Chain A
Amino acid sequence: MTRHRRLLMLAVAPLLLIGVRVHAGTSAALAGGTWRGVMKCTAFYAGTKERYGGDTLTVRITQNGTHLGIAVDYPDYGSGAWTDTYAAILTPDLAKPSSNGEVALVHCGTNDRLGEEGGPNDVFDEIGRMTIKVKPEQVKGSLKGFSIYSDPFIGSETEVGSCKWSFKRVDAAPPADPVSVTCPD
Chain B
Amino acid sequence: MPHLRTRLLLILVLGMLGADVLPARALFLTYDLTGEWTGKVTCKTFAGVKSKSTTIVQMHVTQSGQQIGMVIDSPSGSRLYAGLANPSLKKPGEKGEMAVVSCGTSDDTVSGLGGELGRLIVATAKPPKTKATLKGISLCFELPNPAPLPQFGTCKWSMKRTSKVDPNVATTCEPS
Contacts and interface: CB of A to CB of B under 8 A. Distances in A.
Contact of A1 (B41, B82, B83, B110): B41
B149 A4 contact: no
A107 interface: yes
Interface in B125-176: 137-144, 147-155, 172-173, 176
Interface residues of A, number: 64
Q: Which bucket holds chain B's interface residue count?
A: 35 or more
Contact of A9 (B66, B148, B173): B148
A173 B102 CA distance: 36
A156 B28 contact: yes
Contacts of B149: 12, 16, 19, 23, 91
Contacts of A128: 139
Contact of A158 (B66, B82, B173): B66
B89 A47 contact: yes
Interface in A102-126: 102, 104, 106-115, 125-126
B76 to A, nearest CB: 3
Contacts of B141: 89, 104, 106, 127, 129
Q: Taking each of B86, B110, B116, B141, which has the highest tally of chain A beta carbons within 10 Å of its own beta carbon?
A: B86
Interface string B93-111: 0001111111111111110
B118 interface: yes
14 contacts: A9-B148, A11-B51, A12-B149, A13-B148, A15-B49, A44-B96, A47-B88, A47-B90, A66-B150, A109-B107, A129-B154, A155-B25, A160-B86, A181-B109
Interface of B: 24-25, 28, 41, 43, 45-49, 51, 53, 55, 66, 74-77, 79, 82-90, 92, 96-110, 114-119, 137-144, 147-155, 172-173, 176
